[in-house]
Amino acid sequence: MAHPVPPDFVVIFGRPGSGKSSLAERMGAEFGYNLIRTGEMLRAAIRRHDFLGQRVESHLAKGDLVPDSLIFELLEANLKSPGVSRLLFDGFPRTLGQVPLLEQFERRLDFRIDCYLEVVVSREEAVARMTGRRVCPKCGATYHLIARPPKVAETCDRDGTRLERRPDDTAQVVEFRQQVYDDHALPILDHYERKCPDLCRKVDGAQPFEAVYAETRRALGVRG
């Protein structure tokens, strides 16, 4: 791939704890991607206590996936604007059933995914990392106590809100979410590997964050 700039429409995959959301945030800041983060949209709906939030709260607390029909509803509400530029999907598609939903949005909003990026870490490494994860309950920014600490302990760099542990980062839920990833995401990655191998990229997520980010830029064809 010889893109002087990164592809415009990217899907990022990685097991919970792989660091994919931190990478997505950094890519968004550097290259101006609009982040489409279904997990964050769902948590925002729960914080607002709106109709969708009430229906998805127990799924998130258990680490279970939200039904495809509700994900469709969520994206319908959030992915409307035509003339979309630079989208980075983080957390969608999450099941084989959501693959055709993405294709539907591609047709309707007239864009084509030009890179499927997988951040590869072992299940054991991911579990170890998840215990150090913290999020900002206000803006959704993600931190890690060791790998990506905030400037002031337990405080969001962006808005000064006290950071929290996600309720789905507890030990049993963490293991369950890894299993959900193995059961649902791995078949999606196989699907894209078969359908469009030239659009698929992998980066080694088991390195320090800066090294993963540098490898990601190279994988996306960004030079310098």
Query: Going by C-beta distance under 8 Å and a sequence separation of 6 or more, which residues neighbour residue 125?
Result: 17, 206
SS3 127: helix
Question: Is 194 one of the annotated active-site residues of the chain?
Answer: no
Q: How far is the CB of 222 from ligand AMP (least distance, A)?
A: 24
Tokens for 41?
Answer: 């949209």
Q: How far is the CB of 55 from ligand AMP (least distance, A)?
A: 12
Q: How far is the CB of 198 from ligand AMP (least distance, A)?
A: 25
Question: Is 15 one of the annotated active-site residues of the chain?
Answer: no
Q: Which is nearer to ligand AMP, 185 or 212 (CB)?
A: 185
| Strand residues in 50-194 grouped as ranges (E) | 87-90, 115-120, 133-135, 142-144
- Please, are residues 114 and 10 in contact by the beta-carbon 8 Å criterion? yes
Question: Is 177 one of the annotated active-site residues of the chain?
Answer: yes
Question: Is 151 one of the annotated active-site residues of the chain?
Answer: no
What x-and-dash track marks residues 104-143 binding ligand AMP by CB under 6 A? ----------------------------------------
Tokens for 34?
Answer: 């609009």
Residue from 17, 39, 150, 205 binding ligand AMP (CB under 6 A): 39
What x-and-dash track marks residues 44-63 binding ligand AMP by CB under 6 A? ---------------xx--x
Burial class of residue 166 (count of CB atoms within 10 Å of its CB; 0-12, 13-18, 19+): buried
Give the active site residue among 94, 129, 148, 201: 94
Residue from 6, 16, 19, 205 binding ligand AMP (CB under 6 A): 16
- Please, are residues 174 and 127 in contact by the beta-carbon 8 Å criterion? yes
Alpha-carbon distance 25 to 134, whole Å?
15
Question: Is 94 one of the annotated active-site residues of the chain?
Answer: yes
Binding residues (CB under 6 A) for ligand AMP: these are: 16, 38-39, 42, 59-60, 63-66, 71, 91-92, 94, 98, 168, 177
